[in-house]
Chains A and B, each alone.
Chain A
């Protein structure tokens, strides 16, 4: 059996929902309440019910960054084969790190595949379910 290269694998959304069947945790939110920052896991952790329970009493999407297969046209941000959310994020948000994070899902990440390292340098400021978002983040996250 030959090894599967990352380009053969389905693209993953790096800001997915925990209920998705192939969801895995690749980052944990650190930083402060008003300035969160993702810390990246050495390797993804399958988002089992037991792992999701670690986030109680808050939502897993407030604690983890979750990757799962890109939902394509089932997601409001997808259009013309592209993730419009990723495009808006790199157009409007500042870089928050000087080099791409040590991310375990980069090889299959939709945002990276589409936008390159520009997405990676903005990724650590993203919390999937975010309180205290700036107006810029609200604008970027709004479906168009």
Chain B
């Protein structure tokens, strides 16, 4: 097993440049065959009132 590495950090002044690189990566990732999944907040329709649900595309984790 490969030794784990250190996570990268981005100086503030490189934010825009690194974002452009990330967009290009994401465009390539969209060519992968699987549908996207959401790993994070997924609004619960039965949650407390006051929070508005957020529309979003993509499957919520594993389907089926």
Contact = CB atoms under 8 A, between A and B. Distances in A.
Nearest to B60: A143
B27 A97 contact: no
Contact of A42 (B11, B16, B26): B11
A61 B22 contact: no
Contact of B39 (A40, A64, A73, A130): A130
Main secondary structure of the interface of B (DSSP, over half): loop
Contacts of B33: 132
Interface string A111-142: 00000000001011011111111010111111
Contacts of B25: 29-33, 36
A57 B61 contact: no
Interface string A80-118: 000001000100000111110110000000000000000
A96 to B, nearest CB: 6
A138 B8 CA distance: 25
Contacts of A130: 29, 36-39
A83 to B, nearest CB: 10
Nearest to A144: B61
B39 A140 contact: yes
Given A76-B43, A142-B61, A39 B26 contact: no
B55 to A, nearest CB: 8
Given A37-B8, A99-B6, A131 B36 contact: yes
Contacts of A73: 44, 47-48
A128 B32 contact: no
Interface of B: 3-12, 15-16, 18-23, 25-44, 47-48, 51, 54, 56-58, 60-62
